[in-house]
Amino acid sequence: MNKNVLITGANGGIGAATAIIAAKAGYNIGLHYHSNDETVTKVQQEILALGRKAILLKADISNEDDIIAMYKKFHNELGDLNALVNNAATLFHKSRLEDISAERLTKVFRINAIGNILCAKYAIKYMSTKHGNNGGKIINISSGASRTGSPNEYIDYACTKGAIDTLTKGLAIEVADEGILVNCVRPGFIDTDIHALSGDANRVERLKHKIPLKRAGKSEEVASAILWLLSDGANFSTGSFIDVTGGI
């Protein structure tokens, strides 16, 4: 029986690592991305070399029409949707809240909050037993920032991740009797390229002394937590959170 998972933001970091580990576990992968075509193509080729199917799904998740088209393509090319890893996100240069513009707030909320909520919305339509489907799993990717608030850096990003935490709790209850499990992974300081977007590419190295384990996390370590939630071993878990933060 095929296992098909859609991973948003699969063109690098946690998304790409999750795609590779999931393929090794027997999943066919829908690789969503918005940019970095060359990078996501390399991920696709690695998955194909493992003997699994992998399709590219270019979409702007702040645009609902793009999301609708993405799910249609996934269904047409891979079949049933068994899982969504709701991972796509962005951030901007570190800043105090008093210097953050309304335009920046709109952009970060449209992708990190509204975009992820819409991806979950359409996953339900393709998973819910209420709609004649076989159920499935939604794994939201939040952040340790939802608990710390990221003062003096990006409170706006932290607020969007707080929205993902709330989405996880509410949606888990809402679809519990429709065959859908909804859980969340909250990474901390992970060594990925996203820090370059904040204007501080060396942020993790600079701040690792604050981590009890005294090192940055790896994308593969976050991916391993996601894969456990995808596994049958997590079939009695919903509305739960796994913090991959090195002890913070």
Active site residue 122: no
Domain of residue 88, CATH code: 3.40.50.720
Per-residue pLDDT of the chain (248 residues; tens, 9 = 90+): 579 999 999 998 999 999 999 999 999 999 999 988 899 999 999 999 999 999 999 999 999 999 999 999 999 999 999 999 999 999 999 999 999 999 999 999 999 999 999 999 999 999 999 999 999 999 999 999 999 999 999 999 999 999 999 999 999 999 999 999 999 999 998 887 665 555 566 666 777 788 889 888 899 999 999 999 999 999 999 999 999 999 88
Number of domain units in the chain: 1
Q: What does R_g of the chain's alpha carbons equal in angstroms?
A: 17
Q: Please identify which of the residues 122, 126, 154, 157 carries the catalytic annotation.
A: 157
Which domain range does residue 213 map to?
Answer: 3-244
Contact 31, 44 (CB under 8 A): yes
pLDDT at 100: 97
**What's the CA gap between 12 and 15, in Å, rounded?**
6
User: What number of other Cβ atoms are within 10 A of residue 96's Cβ?
Assistant: 11
pLDDT at 46: 97
pLDDT at 27: 98
In whole angstroms, what separates CA 228 from the centre of its chain? 15
87 CB burial (10 A radius; 0-12, 13-18, 19+): buried
Percent of the chain that is helix, strand, coil (3-state, to 5): 50, 15, 30
Model-level pTM?
Answer: 0.94
